[in-house]
Structure 1
Amino acid sequence: MFIETETTPNPATLKFLPGRQVMTSGTREFTDPEAAEISPLASALFSVGDVTGVFFGGDFISVSAAPGTDWSQLKPQVVAVLLDHFVTESPLFTGGDAAGIAVPDDDDEFTDDPADADVIAQIRELIETRVRPAVAGDGGDIIYRGFREGVVFLTMQGACAGCPSSSATLKQGIEGLLKHYVPEVNEVRAA
């Protein structure tokens, strides 16, 4: 088995491509070892040392490291953990794949107004068809959180969370796209 590695726009994160499906549906982000306890793979990755984040996508795993980490030393350790996991066909989650589906938090702050249903449907379709594939290509994901008074709220995950260019991605890329196709959108904000 060969695991490809790609850089991401976030210098703290590398994207690992095992050449097979990682998640059957959805995505899952782990930002600390405690959250990773439901995944033997994520737990093993956090145990190698300087790992500060793990993100599972459809066909990739993004691993983030602490500032100043020497990837030339960390990368072989991460690859070894990934090889062991995929060669032994270990489960991704202790509770099965359903444990990995990313579901937006139930947060009253982002409850959509039913009167905006058509606008929200347009926003969600653009995010699914145009934005998410591009963000996944960089080792991350983007989650729709809500739309209120012309403002779209999104959360960046994986390599995109904490990336130095994430603000530019939101403001110049995603905001421009949404404003072009959905005139009701005035702004995009990180949530």
Structure 2
Amino acid sequence: MTSRTPRMESLQTDGPQAGERARVCDHPDCGAAGDYRAPVSRDRLNEYLWFCLEHVRAYNAAWDYHRDMDPQDIEADRLKAYTWDRPTWRVGSGAADLRDAEAAARAQAEELAGRRRRQRQRHRAGDRSEQAGAQPVSDRDRALEAMGLSAPVTWAAIRKRYRELVKSLHPDTNGGDKVAENRMKAVNEAYGILKALYL
């Protein structure tokens, strides 16, 4: 393979400065001027041999950056070369992803806090009913619980909660999920009961 082959014959540098000796070609048995540089090896790309035009062309023709590398190492080296041997990261990562993750975490925390609040309210309501002689749970309380609400509550709050549930449980939103469909039926039934009681 000859990938990563430098165009060595184009790497001519300025001639020797005044008082300097001209470079001699590094090829054995050649006394011509060494005006063209070529890297010493794959591991020493910033160190150079100096050749005449004839010998730098021969060196270039024989150059194989991947010589003595197995296919896996060659592929890994080629992949690194695509990004100029610099580290990479996924496109789109950064501030937008962080904002989305934070928003999702906040929504999850709010949902959990709401669940805990409703559990405490139900627990307190259960304690009160035990103290009051374990009165049976009314249709209104069951309907409110089905909607994730507890008494006392206004009709405006019931309507607002109903709209939220309809949006989240709608078949178009849930792709025909049976659990969401059954929950939607229970919410509609509860809303009908509460509507009859409140209006």
Give the alignment's TM-score, normalised by structure 2.
0.19
More helix by share: 2
The structure that has the greater radius of gyration is 2
Larger RCO: 1 or 2 (CA < 8 Å, sep 6+): 1
TM-score by length of 1: 0.19
